Amino acid sequence: MHSTPQNVTDYPNNNTYFLVWNFKEQIPIEKIKSCFQRICALVINLNNSGLDRFPDSKASCVMGIGYEAWLKLDLPKPLPKELKPFEPVMGDKHIAVATKGDLHFHIRSDQKSLAYDMSSVISDTMKVIGDCVVEVQGFRYWDSRSILGFVDGTENPHGTDRDYFSVINEQDLDYRGGSYLFVQKYVHNLNAWKLLSVEEQEKVIGRSKEHDIEMDDDVKPQNSHIALANIGDDFKVVRDNMPFGNVATNEMGTYFICYTSTFSTVEKMLTNMFVGDPPGNYDRILDFSTAKTGTLFFVPSLDMLADFSG
């Protein structure tokens, strides 16, 4: 059984690289497969080396594989039960867009130099067969806040619940130890956001800004982010969101990333946010945050990754 997961339950780190790569069309498939084998071995090596050399750095590299890449690489069939092309979620006003991604790398370390080196080694290998279509350098902002100023990830599960909600077990016995990975790059309209009073911002989020306390149900707006994005204690995901951006150009945002044992949980969350519950009652945060990407990947277990490495 392929049961040992990649580092999907690690807690958010101080420095993170998010990389999305697409295979080049003109590269022969055998060359892509050969390079993919080296990449799988490299991911395993980087994790082991980081743990041995810098045990306190909390370094890790997690690789996810997209639907089209899974087919192109002729990986095991049947596919993971919920691995498919992500389809846009269309609301009356906002859209959760769908974008192509063959491989996703989630690289973390408390040491910025180590995160950079790991990303550089991955990129040096990947550029032979692929193009990097997303590169986001995330950073920890104060006490795990987004650039909007509110704590991000308060509803994350802890302890053994992190494994329960993020790692496949009984849901798909052929892929035990794996996870579904969904990512979106959001860009915030900070100029519009800053025009709101703190009280108005709190109504958009559904929590107090200073102390991160959730509003009572009889006060919390039905279109607040908390009311729509959190779909119940039985339907959670492990988030590792990070802020990113360029101050001079004012392009600041949040890289939304979650690991889950069932992608249907994410689909329900996105429907609530973009379509609304009931329809039309969409997540008010979307008036200030635009999804620029949206891609589903599958994260194989470490055992399966070792098999892929040849």
Please list the active-site residues: 152
How buried is 159 (Cβ within 10 angstroms: 0-12 exposed, 13-18 middle, 19+ buried)? exposed
Q: What does the angle CA 129 – CA 184 – CA 289 come to, to the nearest 5 degrees?
A: 140
